[in-house]
Amino acid sequence: MGASARGVAPVAVGLEQSGSGSLQRVGEYAFDVIWLVVLVAVVVETAVAMGRGVGRLHAVGWLALVALALPASAAAGGWATVQLSSLPAGTDAGGTWTPELTVLQHGRTPLEGISPAVRIYDGKGTSREFPAQPTGTPGHYRAEVTFPASGEWRWEIWDGFSQTHTYAPVTIGGGGESSFPTAPVTGGVLAALGLAGLAVLMLRRRRPAPQAALDA
C-alpha cells in the first residue's frame, strides 16, 4: 500500500507487503515471468525461421504473434506508485493529517475502483488504519489520519492494488499549545504598566510646591 503529486516531492516506494496482497503480488509477478518466457521463445523462433530461409509468410506469422503478445504482457504488470500531496511531519497529537493519494498503475495510469488506506503504528506495534476515499478525480483518494498520541510513529500506505509502501518514521509533537501568544502579550502589558507608573512618579517629583498664602 509510494512517488509525486503535482508540486510536491516524490515519496519512496516501499517493499514490504503482507496478507493476501502478498499472494496476489506473487501471482502477478509469476504471470509476468511466463509472458516474458513466451516472448523470448517467439522472438528466437522467428529469428531461426528467418535464418533458415523459411517462407516469409511463416516469419510474418510469428511476428504477428509477438505483436499480439506484447500488449497482453504490458497489461499483466501488477504494481503501482503512490504520490502524496503532503507528509505527516508537523502534525500534532490529536490533529488531523489529510493527504491526497494519487495511485498510478506502472506510474502512469490512474487506478479507479480501489481502496487505498494509510496505516500507522505506535511504539508498541499497535496499528490504526484510515481508509482513503475517492475525490472524484480518477486515481485520486483522500484520507484523514489522526495520530492519537505524541512520539515516534511508523506509517505506510496500502495502495489498494498490489503492495504496501513504507516510509521513514515520523515524530508527532505533543500539541496542546495555544495559538494565541499569551507570554509575549502578558510581558508587553506588564512593561507598559511599569512605564506608566514610572512616568506618573516623575511627574509628581517635577510638580512645583504650592505657595504659602500671603497674610492680608
Residues 155-169 as b or e (16 or more Cβ within 10 Å = b) = bbbbbbbbbbbbbee
Residue 147 lies in a domain: yes
Residue 213 lies in a domain: no
pLDDT band per the 50, 70, 90 thresholds, residue 129: very high
The pTM is what? 0.52
Q: Report yes or no: 147 and 97 within 8 Å, Cβ to Cβ.
A: yes
Same domain, 195 and 91: no
Residue 216 lies in a domain: no
Mean pLDDT for the stretch of residues 92-112: 97
User: Above 60 in pLDDT, residue 183?
Assistant: no
User: Above 70 in pLDDT, residue 35?
Assistant: no
Q: Cα separation of 106 and 2, whole Å?
A: 11
Residue 214 lies in a domain: no
* Containing structural domain, residue 133: 1-176
Same domain, 108 and 187: no
Same domain, 30 and 49: yes
User: Above 90 in pLDDT, residue 197?
Assistant: no
Same domain, 149 and 124: yes
In this prediction, residue 6 carries a pLDDT of: 36
Same domain, 38 and 142: yes
In this prediction, residue 199 carries a pLDDT of: 64
Residue 151 lies in a domain: yes
User: Above 90 in pLDDT, residue 106?
Assistant: yes
Same domain, 89 and 194: no
Total structural domains within the chain:
2
What percentage of residues in the chain have a pLDDT greater than 90? 44
Same domain, 190 and 96: no
Phi-psi region at 7: left, alpha or beta (left = phi > 0; alpha = psi -120 to 50): left
